[in-house]
Amino acid sequence: MKHLKLTLILFIFIAGSVSARQSSIIKDGAELTRISNKFSFTEGPVADKDGNVYFTDQPNNKILKWSHESGNIEVYLNESLRANGLYIDHKGNLLACADEKNQLVSINKDKNITVLINDFEGKRLNGPNDLWVDPQGGIYFTDPFYKRDYWDHSEKEIKEERVYYFDPETKELRVAADDVIKPNGIIGSPDGKFLFIADIGDGKTYRYSIHEDHSLSDRTLIAKMGSDGVTLDTQGNLYLTGNGVTVFNSSGEQIEHIEVPEGWTANVTFGGAEKDILFITAMGSVYTLEMNVKGAN
């Protein structure tokens, strides 16, 4: 009987593994591929229009660039102001949550840096972490507080850890969501109708409706799981990080879990010419996985 139970357990484990590998969203036969493990802590991946992925190595103060054609990684920018989350605006500028001085900055193609946001109502932000650009070019970003050893301050100037909206044209910065504890990962639907906010402090991820004035309403629980980083595919599936990558469909049902050797993952995006390569930042490593779905953003 003991051997029979062991056999059944092994069968269930193997069957479960095979099922995960043959998931409809993962390309048949695809293997998780580590493309480098030479970093300290990777974060903030975002793909450009050609499918190359920019990501950060925050402890080393660098922005890196992965070429999907060559598979090579090169340093894109040294002295990146401790860039964390990245996104690309509609003009092709690389936007960065710059943790060194709690700013939001824009980096043009000549690698010149422009500070977009220094503070909110005269008070230093807690630490912009992740961001998303809406169809009109407005920027939503999360502002949690994670004390850094390179700061010369240790206390918050703004008590609340919130989500903000910034209009690059009018330079207006306003609170978008204050019904969160510690917002972290953020992504919006391509049509600009919905915003997903991972509240890592509450261990939940919510979907909000976005209105024409860029305000948010109708908070809806999507997953009882917080996340460091998030992304969406064209089927409306939501990818959350932390313990590997966990995927939920638009109804909030878990449909996939992708394990990585490090266990912890910080962020995720889609890259490649067809936007069908899942790019994962995991501690000191970065990974790719071929998918049957494409990135929505």
Report how far residue 237's alpha carbon sits from residue 122's, in angstroms, rounded to the nearest whole number: 39
Where are the chain's structural domains?
A: 31-290
pTM for this one? 0.91
Radius of gyration of the chain (CA): 19
Report how far residue 145's alpha carbon sits from residue 149's, in angstroms, rounded to the nearest whole number: 13
- Judged against a pLDDT cut of 60, whether residue 179 lies above it is answered with yes
- Judged against a pLDDT cut of 90, whether residue 147 lies above it is answered with yes
| The predicted structure's pLDDT at residue 10 | 33
Instruction: Spell 105-128 as b/e; 16+ CB within 10 A means b.
Output: bbbeeeeebeebbeebeeebbbbb
pLDDT in tens, 67-124: 999 999 999 999 999 999 999 999 999 999 999 999 999 999 999 999 999 999 999 9
Backbone angles phi, psi at 174, to 5 degrees: -140, 160
pLDDT in tens, 211-253: 999 999 999 999 999 999 999 999 999 999 999 999 999 999 9
pLDDT band for position 23 (50/70/90)? low
pLDDT in tens, 123-143: 999 999 999 999 999 999 999
Contact 238, 25 (CB under 8 A): no
The one-letter amino acid at 48: D
Report how far residue 297's alpha carbon sits from residue 290's, in angstroms, rounded to the nearest whole number: 17
DSSP annotation of 59: G
Report how far residue 248's alpha carbon sits from residue 128's, in angstroms, rounded to the nearest whole number: 26
Contact 196, 176 (CB under 8 A): no
Report how far residue 221's alpha carbon sits from residue 192's, in angstroms, rounded to the nearest whole number: 19
> 31-290 has which fold?
Neuraminidase (2.120.10)
